[in-house]
Amino acid sequence: MNPSRRQALKAGGSLGLFSALVALGLVKPGDAWAEAWNKGAFDAKSTADALAALGANAPTMVGEIAITAPDIAENGAVVPVGAVSNLPGTTQIAYLIEKNPSTVAAVFDIPPGTLPEVQTRVKMGQTSNVMILVKADGKYYAAQKEVKVTVGGCGG
Amino acid sequence: MDRINVSTLLLAVLGMPAFVVPTTATAGDYRDQALAMVKRDFQAKGSAGLDRLEEDGLQSVCNRTGNHPPKEIAARLEQDQLASIEMPADGNLMGDWKAGEKLAQSGRGFTWTDKPGLPVGGNCYNCHRISPSETSFGTVGPSLYQFGKLRGKGPEVQQYVYQKIFNAKAFNVCSEMPRFGHIGALKEAQIKDLVALLLADDSPVNSK
Amino acid sequence: MNIRLILAALAGSALAGSAMAQTSPSEDFQKFRDVMEEDNPAELFEARGEEYWKTPRGPKNASLEQCDLGLGPGVVNGAYVQMPRYFADVDQVMDAERRVVHCMVTLQGLAFEEVTKQPFSNDKGTPDHVSVVTYIAGQSRDMKIAPPQNHPKERETYEIGKEIFGFRAGPYDFSCSTCHGADGRRIRMQDLPNLTKPEGAAKGIIGWPGYRMTGGFMLTSQWRMTDCFRQQRFPQPKYLSDTITAILAYQAVNARGQVYRGPGIKR
Amino acid sequence: MADPMKIRATLKGDTVEVRVLMAHNMETGARKDSSGGLIPAHFIQTVNATHNGKLVFAAQWGTAIAKNPFLQFKFKGGAKGDKLQLSWTDNKNDSRTDEATIA
């Protein structure tokens, strides 16, 4: 049993929901669960290391990945970033923020039946490229966009 | 400021038949209540002491008249403020525009979260457009971009700019601009740097 | 729905995100603030405040469900937009935050000093009374701002607030009015609403309490007023003082008829 | 215990749009407290969403996800009235599971 499954069951145990689901047969022990937290990827301090840890050494830069992020973020503490992949067979979408202390912000699994699009909000320490990495049909593709981070406001 | 002089003026303001209190007949009562409430409700914090709630004469005149004192009173007060401006002994009013730009950027100083005492920032960009490269500027005051280009940089303009920064109330008694030199917030050399920022040929303010 | 339109447009084209049309910074900020407002973390604090409101606690083991916010005990719906108002039980005009703390003290038996030990949110978190104010504010979403002006003390509070609004003092001769007394003003990039007019005054009320993105906590109107006085270079107004209530009453009355949109989002 | 998630699951055509807010500090481990000590990292690492026992979405997060996280995703095959379960687990093994009804 992988760690995240164990954690999920532990969580379920304390709250009753997952154990109830298992008992009802809604969740079968053999069901595929999300991959374990990829420590190697989240520890990566550069885009190259992050891509290597994600197994995506030289992704092809493509136009079929749309990134929604502000040109200038009012506040680096909360930067809304959305990604849509138009690549058939998309199974994973990852957010990489080049200038952050840890490059990888998020890795999303897209099971069959789930649309290859996601939105979340990230922290950015400074102006940086935001790369969206997509795994489609087992291959890696990417697009990126620069987001400027301002230190706005009056001095008072 | 000469307090006796101002009190006399205040009496004159209030005694003048032409002087009309701007709101209702009870506005004075509300003002008194407001002042009493403020004195009760504030506490000293950091460098911001309760003495800051004591109006000086000019503030009092502006507060009592909705910032529009009768012309004669305004003119007298402006004269007083102008007379109190200390001009540099060396006669030179142009400092270093680069230091001026740095000073103009800072809005620090005098709040209860700021380090007490001097130096404090010039606060200029909070209210004015100045150098074209700074796009984050306020609009409470007029744009000062191209100021030297438009107004020249002769001795009279230099003197005016120095005096305006030292005490804006010398030219418009209830101006919204602080009296930076008058209150001792900015020192002579700093004001000179700001004069240079607005007037120097090589200042970005006058570029193009 | 901006973001979805943009996403759809981008998805339909072969363009990468970097080819997005350039907009001015303030438009861009507003656009993403709108996006943030659609899913505002303030809702998490509304939920927490609601739970607090309904859960018995304190020495008297009481919930706040008997708290009278001006529309009768326990009536939360629409109460926020009808404050500040006069409360006969204390013979005082109170704003929402002041009333909530009053109820925590009187109904739950908590000590005023204890409740107000941390008046405002900070990195350590959002205090309970602030979550409760957020909950109450959320229960006035999309309602018109309508503070009553029937009681003489309500009218008096407004007039005093107006005086304080124009009161210039301190090293820089600033009053509230210096920044907020005219249209179209900005400090740096920050828009300064004209609080003397309905639309501007509403801007001063809408969006509070606000979820502060820096730090991720809730800030209330009480905090906003206090921080304005700080930036005005004044000394510090006491928490929940008459002065703050008066300034809030001045704004709320000026904003009458404008629609309140619930807790907002702040930089 | 952690506060409940705020989950909105809405059927639009044949697609369920899920929007979630989670109450979590998402401490990076790089911030200092007032006494100058580092605040230890504390952040959600995994998020799973299941519909009818089937995993419809999974996320792994690092410390760069903003405090009080927001997440939006879409999946097909859901119907009005169906239940959707979301759960997160953080690096201290705290967790939270909530359920929403598709509207």
At residue B6 the predicted structure's pLDDT band, cuts being 50, 70 and 90, is low
Q: Is there a domain that residue D47 lies in?
A: yes
Task: Provide the pLDDT for residue A75.
Answer: 86
Q: Hey, where are the domains in chain C?
A: 25-266
Candidates A150, A152, A154; nearest CB to B107: A154
- Which chains are within 8 Å of D by 3+ CB pairs? A, C
User: Nearest chain B Cα to C189, which residue?
Assistant: B136
Q: Does A46 touch chain D (CB under 8 A)?
A: no
CB contact under 8 A, D93 and A105: no
Q: How do residues B10-68 score in pLDDT, each as one tens digit? A: 555 554 444 444 444 456 689 999 999 999 999 999 999 999 999 999 999 999 999 99
- Round to the nearest angstrom and report the end-to-end CA distance of chain C: 20
Q: Which parts of chain D register pLDDT below 50?
A: none
Contact D102, D16 (CB under 8 A): yes
Segment B89-99 mean pLDDT: 96
Bond into B142 cis (ω within 30): no
CB contact under 8 A, C44 and D21: yes
- CA A56 – CA A37 distance, rounded (Å): 17
The angle at the Cα of C123, spanning C120 to C128, to the nearest 5 degrees, equals 45
Distance from CA of C79 to the nearest CA of A (A): 31
Residue that has been written with the tokens 């989950």 in this structure: D7
Distance from CA of C162 to the nearest CA of B (A): 9
At residue A15 the predicted structure's pLDDT band, cuts being 50, 70 and 90, is very low
Q: How many domains does chain D have?
A: 1
Sign of CA dihedral D91, D94, D96, D97: positive
Q: Hey, where are the domains in chain A?
A: 3-149
Contact C259, C142 (CB under 8 A): yes
SS (H, E, C) A62-119: CCCEEEECCCEECCCCCEEEEEEECCCCEEEEEEEECCCCCCEEEEEECCCCEEEEEE
Task: Provide the pLDDT for residue C31.
Answer: 78
pTM score? 0.86
Q: At residue A154, does pLDDT exceed 70?
A: no
Residues in Cβ contact with C246 at an 8 Å cutoff, skipping those fewer than 6 apart = B34, B37, C93, C157, C158, C160, C161, C164
For residues C242 and A12, the model is more confident at C242
Q: Does A147 touch chain D (CB under 8 A)?
A: no
The per-residue b/e assignment along D48-75, b for 16 or more CB within 10 angstroms, e otherwise, is bbbbeebbbbbbbbbbbbbbbbbbbbbb
C228 classed as catalytic? yes
CATH number of A3-149: 2.60.40.2470
At residue A35 the predicted structure's pLDDT band, cuts being 50, 70 and 90, is low
Segment A69-89 mean pLDDT: 93
> Domain holding D44: CATH number?
2.60.40.10
Q: Locate C175 and state its tokens.
A: 């009053």
Structural domains in chain B, sorted by start = 2-83 (no CATH), 97-206 (1.10.760.10)
CB contact under 8 A, D6 and C44: yes
Q: At residue A23, does pLDDT exceed 90?
A: no
Torsion of CA C31, C36, C42, C44, to 10 degrees: 170
At residue A22 the predicted structure's pLDDT band, cuts being 50, 70 and 90, is very low
**Domain ranges, residue D28:** 6-101
Q: Does C191 touch chain A (CB under 8 A)?
A: no
pLDDT (tens place) for every residue of chain C, 267 residues total = 344 444 443 333 333 333 334 456 667 777 777 888 889 999 999 999 999 999 999 999 999 999 999 999 999 999 999 999 999 999 999 999 999 999 999 999 999 999 999 999 998 899 999 999 999 999 999 999 999 999 999 999 999 999 999 999 999 999 999 999 999 999 998 889 999 999 999 999 998 999 999 899 999 999 999 999 999 999 999 999 999 999 999 999 999 999 999 999 988
ipTM over 0.85: no
Task: Provide the pLDDT for residue C35.
Answer: 81
Q: Which CATH superfamily is domain C25-266 in?
A: Cytochrome c-like domain (1.10.760.10)
Residues of C in contact with A143 (CB under 8 A): 16-18
Segment A56-81 mean pLDDT: 92
Q: Locate D46 and state its tokens.
A: 């995994």
Q: Does B47 touch chain A (CB under 8 A)?
A: no
Q: Helix B27-41 crosses helix C152-165 at what angle (to 10 degrees)?
A: 80
Plot region of B138 (φ>0 → left; ψ -120 to 50 → alpha; else → beta): beta
Interface list for chain C against chain B, based on CB atoms closer than 8 Å? 25, 156, 159-160, 162-164, 166-175, 178-179, 184-190, 192, 229-231, 233-238, 241-244, 246
Candidates C170, C178, C244; nearest CB to B176: C178
Q: Does B158 touch chain A (CB under 8 A)?
A: no
Q: Is there a domain that residue D1 lies in?
A: no
Q: At residue A155, does pLDDT exceed 60?
A: no
In whole numbers, what is the pLDDT of chain C averaged over residues?
90
